[in-house]
């Protein structure tokens, strides 16, 4: 089964189940069936073209299993210390993937292979291969695999379609391995486009379809009637755990950005950096600014020396388009801007006061600096955290304000004091026991000193919080 997540922002507190779905369409004129004979036409030719490139993905990961019985004094008395008893077991997950290059490059969901120590893929012709993880991008929930094959075979691959050409009502096919029953094809229509309030990944811009999607479909293909890949199935809304006609796919145009980074040898996806904090335009904001509609992305702040600042973007500007494509909200801008190739410029249309204008923003990556990652092991409330020095690049990755400086929590060990006390990934440590924390080395040094009482100040979600903990 695939990994599942929960979502309560949709009516009825629908459970969000991570799976795979797809969507597709083509630029040709749409024609409604004109007779009963046309209704009998088959999708078989499309399926025959696309299914050889869709694979099953099997991932295995070692997870620690802690049995409370092992710590029971009576158990220890009769059976001794449980040092020889295995504390780890292999957890297996099942998903789908799509071969996007004949060399054996596969795209799937990141959650399908997250933490995996072993990955295998099964092709449509039943052959199995080991695969290696080439690149993982948690921001889009995508991962790129490569088949380990010494024969240099050319594998069947699928051609990318242009997901921007999809229209609501287009017929699409979803191909994957639901519930592990084997490769399955379902069909439906594109129910909606540019869904941005879903809460699955950083880039909220999904294709919605009613093609039947179920656990195990994650990472599978959504194809159009030309047999081209227009999306990677990712999630559904469901009360029962199965398909109820609301599924979401990552658009193929975003998938291509991740695949291109993998082909270029990168271990991470490089995207353009804006250097400004945006927010949605609410009806109240629209009324205050004199806008006719509550649409666009409002510039809340601009970081000094960023591409946005150098282009002349100002707080209070409302971004309404990018390279001629309309921007409905903050997530829509993030998606459109993230697709732009590095090295050029983006034409950004905006409303400033009562006037409309266009500025050119350079497409460059955010500056980075040595993160100097450190895991805190000394006895303190932060024990078990991995921390690193913030930079605009890391702030962009963690979705933090790029103007923030300091030390950020990157990871927290399961069961550690820091986890039990409620520290979270993305917390920025500002001060410990009245000592300013500027670098990860500062934090490591300060936490080495034993203390009967700890006073720690952090930044979380834009708010500064101070808490005291017993030593």
Closest by Cα among 213, 110, 102 to 158: 102
**Hey, what are 237's tokens?**
């809304």
For residue 318, the surrounding DSSP H or E stretch is strand 318-322
**Using CA atoms, how far apart are residues 31 and 46, in angstroms rounded to an integer?**
17
Q: Could you tell me the sign of the dihedral formed by the alpha carbons of 184, 185, 190, 193, in that order?
A: positive
Closest by Cα among 373, 416, 419, 417 to 394: 373
- Please provide the DSSP assignment of 331-381 as one string: HHHHHHHHTSPTTSEEEEEEEETTEEEEEEEE--PPP------EE--SSST
**Which residues have a Cβ under 8 Å from the Cβ of 449 and sit 6 or more positions away?**
none
**Using CA atoms, how far apart are residues 91 and 34, in angstroms rounded to an integer?**
51
**Using CA atoms, how far apart are residues 149 and 313, in angstroms rounded to an integer?**
50
Cite the active site residues. Answer: 111, 141, 218
**Using CA atoms, how far apart are residues 298 and 316, in angstroms rounded to an integer?**
6
* CB contact at 8 A, 207 and 230: yes
**Hey, what are 110's tokens?**
């990141």
> Under DSSP, is residue 179 helix (H, G, I), strand (E, B) or coil?
helix
**Using CA atoms, how far apart are residues 384 and 433, in angstroms rounded to an integer?**
19
């Amino acid at each position: 089964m695939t990994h599942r997540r929960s979502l309560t922002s949709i009516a009825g507190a629908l459970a969000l189940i991570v799976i795979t779905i797809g969507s597709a369409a083509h630029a040709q004129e749409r024609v409604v069936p004109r007779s009963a004979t046309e209704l009998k036409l088959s999708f078989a030719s499309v399926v025959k073209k696309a299914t050889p490139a869709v694979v099953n993905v099997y991932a295995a990961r070692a997870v620690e299993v802690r049995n409370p019985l092992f710590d029971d004094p009576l158990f220890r008395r009769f059976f001794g210390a449980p040092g020889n008893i295995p504390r780890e077991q292999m957890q297996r997950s099942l998903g789908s993937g799509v071969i996007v290059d004949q060399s054996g490059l596969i795209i799937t969901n990141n959650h399908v292979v997250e933490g995996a120590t072993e990955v295998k893929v099964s092709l449509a012709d039943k052959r199995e291969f080991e695969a290696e993880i080439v690149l993982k991008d948690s921001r889009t929930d995508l991962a790129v695999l490569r088949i380990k094959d010494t024969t240099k075979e050319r594998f069947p691959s699928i051609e990318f379609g242009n997901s921007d050409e999809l229209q609501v009502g287009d017929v699409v096919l979803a191909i994957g391995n639901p519930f592990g029953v084997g490769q399955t094809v379902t069909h439906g229509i594109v129910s909606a486009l540019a869904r941005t309030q879903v809460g699955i990944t950083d880039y909220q811009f999904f294709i919605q379809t009613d093609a039947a999607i179920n656990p195990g479909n994650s990472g599978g293909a959504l194809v159009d009637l030309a047999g081209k890949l227009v999306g990677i199935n990712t999630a559904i809304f469901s009360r029962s755990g199965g398909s109820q006609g609301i599924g979401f796919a990552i658009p193929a145009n975003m998938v291509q950005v991740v695949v291109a980074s993998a082909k270029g040898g990168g271990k991470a996806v490089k995207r353009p950096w804006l250097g400004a904090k945006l927010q949605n335009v609410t009806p109240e904001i629209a009324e205050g600014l004199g806008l006719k509609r509550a649409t666009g992305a409002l510039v809340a702040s601009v970081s000094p020396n960023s591409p946005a600042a150098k282009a002349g973007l100002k707080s209070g500007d409302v971004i309404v388009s990018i390279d001629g494509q309309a921007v409905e909200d903050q997530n829509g801008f993030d998606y459109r801007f993230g697709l732009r190739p590095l090295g050029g410029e983006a034409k950004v249309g905006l409303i400033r006061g009562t006037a409309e204008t266009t500025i050119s923003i350079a497409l460059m990556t955010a500056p980075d600096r040595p993160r100097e990652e450190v895991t805190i092991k000394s006895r303190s409330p932060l024990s078990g955290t991995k921390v690193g020095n913030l930079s605009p690049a890391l702030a962009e990755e963690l979705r933090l304000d790029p103007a923030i400086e300091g030390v950020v929590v990157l990871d927290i060990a399961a069961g550690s004091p820091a986890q039990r006390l409620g520290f979270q990934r993305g917390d920025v440590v500002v001060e410990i026991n009245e000592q300013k924390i500027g670098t990860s080395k500062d934090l490591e040094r300060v936490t080495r000193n034993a203390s009967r009482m700890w006073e720690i100040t952090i930044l979380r979600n834009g708010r500064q919080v101070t808490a005291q903990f017993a030593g």
